[in-house]
């Protein structure tokens, strides 16, 4: 294993894979949408969430003027639309229409909500604060909706189509998956028991099964190669 020194800029990508959201806004009869990967929960009571936007984003400007926005959380079926919405600004284009998206009315804000998403968070804008070259938009959560198939107290992750899309950077995306229930025990000194005797037994059984499987696969491959030497594979040669 090699531990490699990364660039300072890699910090953002390493921390990045939370769900990507499509931030929607409406102002003076115009609506706009942009994907935002840099989001953060900020407070439980009052419920506050944050979105980090570059000052160039029209979406941010419209959120400042309308003092509200919505966060739409897509699954993998909307990946192309997400990439498209992030590729152009809405200054001269009705991006929502161009992305062939259908919207429905939000309950507490004017920003439209996007059909086909897994969850929707409606927010009032609390504050905007500059950090370095980006602005933190703090939203007061006003209403939250989610599909039952996708979310019940936590993301269910039972099927890929109902799991949130995550953005890895560039044109790479992933889907949140492989949920695991994690419990742990401590010893008399309060230290973590990294592996209980039962877990050790299970691991050793798994490893033994895997080794057996590899051995069988190896034997099968050897047999195939032996047969191929006798009778090479490929189309029959015309006499
Ligand atoms: C997956 C994805 C995630 C993005 N995340 C952010 C982000 O967190 N903050 C940001 O300022 N821009 C982000 N962008 C870029 C904006 O979405 C992009 O510049 C968009 O075209 C802005 O549109 P607007 O000018 O209409 O607001 C992201 C783009 C993509 C494709």
DSSP 28-77: TTEEEEEEE--EEEEETTTTEEEEEE-TT-HHHHHHHHHTEEEEEE--GG
Contact in structure between 167 and 15 (CB atoms under 8 Å) = no
What is the CA(203)–ligand 1 centre distance, in A? 44
What is the CA(86)–ligand 1 centre distance, in A? 5
| Angstrom distance (rounded) from CA 138 to CA 141 | 9
| Nearest one of 167, 186, 190, 166 to 176, comparing CA atoms | 166
Considering the domain boundaries, does residue 237 fall inside one?
A: no
Check whether 13 has a pLDDT greater than 80.
Answer: no
Phi, psi of 166 (to 5 degrees): -120, 150
Domains in the chain: how many in total? 2
Whole-model pTM? 0.86
Considering the domain boundaries, does residue 42 fall inside one?
A: yes
Instruction: Name the one residue in this structure whose structure tokens are 């909307």.
Output: 78
DSSP 3-state of 85 = helix
Say yes or no: CB of residue 145 within 6 Å of ligand 1. no
Question: What pLDDT sits at residue 239?
Answer: 46
The pLDDT tens digits for 51-106 are 999 999 999 999 999 999 999 999 999 999 999 999 999 999 999 999 999 999 99
Residue with CA at minimum distance from ligand 1 atom 18: 86
Say yes or no: CB of residue 90 within 6 Å of ligand 1. yes
Residue with CA at minimum distance from ligand 1 atom 13: 36
The mean-pLDDT minimum among 47-56, 111-120, 172-181, 225-234 falls in: 225-234
- Does residue 194 share a domain with residue 167? no
The mean-pLDDT minimum among 15-19, 170-174, 182-186 falls in: 15-19
| Angstrom distance (rounded) from CA 197 to CA 49 | 42
Domain of 149, CATH number, reads 2.30.110.10
Check whether 143 has a pLDDT greater than 60.
Answer: yes
| Nearest one of 107, 104, 128 to 116, comparing CA atoms | 104
Question: What pLDDT sits at residue 222?
Answer: 87
Question: What pLDDT sits at residue 236?
Answer: 56
Considering the domain boundaries, does residue 126 fall inside one?
A: yes
What is the token pair recorded at 38? 């840099």
- Does residue 155 share a domain with residue 45? yes
Considering the domain boundaries, does residue 195 fall inside one?
A: yes
Residue with CA at minimum distance from ligand 1 atom 31: 86
| Nearest one of 69, 77, 68 to 36, comparing CA atoms | 69
Considering the domain boundaries, does residue 80 fall inside one?
A: yes
Show the domain range for 69. 10-175
| Angstrom distance (rounded) from CA 33 to CA 85 | 7
CA angle centred on 113, ends 71 and 147, rounded to 5°: 80
Check whether 118 has a pLDDT greater than 50.
Answer: yes
| Angstrom distance (rounded) from CA 34 to CA 19 | 14
Say yes or no: CB of residue 22 within 6 Å of ligand 1. no
Mean per-residue pLDDT, 9-15: 77
Say yes or no: CB of residue 81 within 6 Å of ligand 1. no
| Angstrom distance (rounded) from CA 30 to CA 217 | 62
Considering the domain boundaries, does residue 134 fall inside one?
A: yes
Considering the domain boundaries, does residue 5 fall inside one?
A: no
- Look at 201 and 15; give whichever has higher pLDDT: 201
| Nearest one of 115, 118, 95 to 106, comparing CA atoms | 115
Phi, psi of 224 (to 5 degrees): -65, -45
Say yes or no: CB of residue 19 within 6 Å of ligand 1. no
Check whether 28 has a pLDDT greater than 50.
Answer: yes
What is the CA(183)–ligand 1 centre distance, in A? 37
* Nearest-atom index, ligand 1, CA of 95: 26
Considering the domain boundaries, does residue 58 fall inside one?
A: yes
- Does residue 124 share a domain with residue 84? yes
> Ligand 1: which of 35, 58, 169 to mutate, most ligand atoms within 8 Å of CB?
35
What is the CA(174)–ligand 1 centre distance, in A? 17
Mean per-residue pLDDT, 151-176: 94
List, in sequence order, the alpha helices (H) in the chain.
10-15, 58-66, 79-85, 95-98, 197-230
* Nearest-atom index, ligand 1, CA of 32: 26
């Amino acid at each position: 294993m090699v531990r490699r020194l990364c660039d300072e800029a890699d910090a953002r990508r390493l921390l990045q894979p939370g769900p990507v959201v499509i931030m929607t806004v409406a102002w003076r009869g115009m609506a706009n949408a942009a994907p935002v990967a840099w989001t953060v929960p900020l407070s439980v009571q009052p419920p506050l969430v944050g979105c980090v936007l570059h000052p160039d984003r029209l979406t941010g400007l419209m959120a400042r003027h309308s003092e509200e926005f919505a966060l739409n959380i897509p699954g993998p079926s909307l990946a192309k639309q997400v990439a498209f919405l992030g590729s152009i600004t809405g200054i001269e284009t009705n991006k929502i229409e161009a992305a062939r998206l259908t919207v429905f009315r939000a309950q507490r804000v004017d920003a439209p909500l996007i059909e086909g998403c897994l969850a929707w968070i409606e927010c009032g804008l609390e504050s905007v604060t500059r950090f370095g070259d980006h602005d933190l938009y703090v939203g007061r959560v006003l209403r939250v909706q989610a599909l039952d198939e996708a979310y019940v107290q936590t993301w269910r992750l039972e099927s890929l189509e109902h799991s949130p899309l995550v953005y890895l950077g560039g044109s790479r995306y992933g889907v949140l998956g492989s949920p695991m229930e994690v419990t742990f025990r401590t010893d008399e000194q309060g230290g973590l028991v990294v592996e209980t005797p039962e877990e050790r037994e299970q691991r050793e059984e798994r490893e033994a099964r895997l080794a057996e499987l590899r051995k069988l696969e190896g034997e099968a491959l050897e047999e195939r190669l032996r047969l191929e030497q006798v009778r090479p594979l490929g189309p029959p040669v015309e006499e």
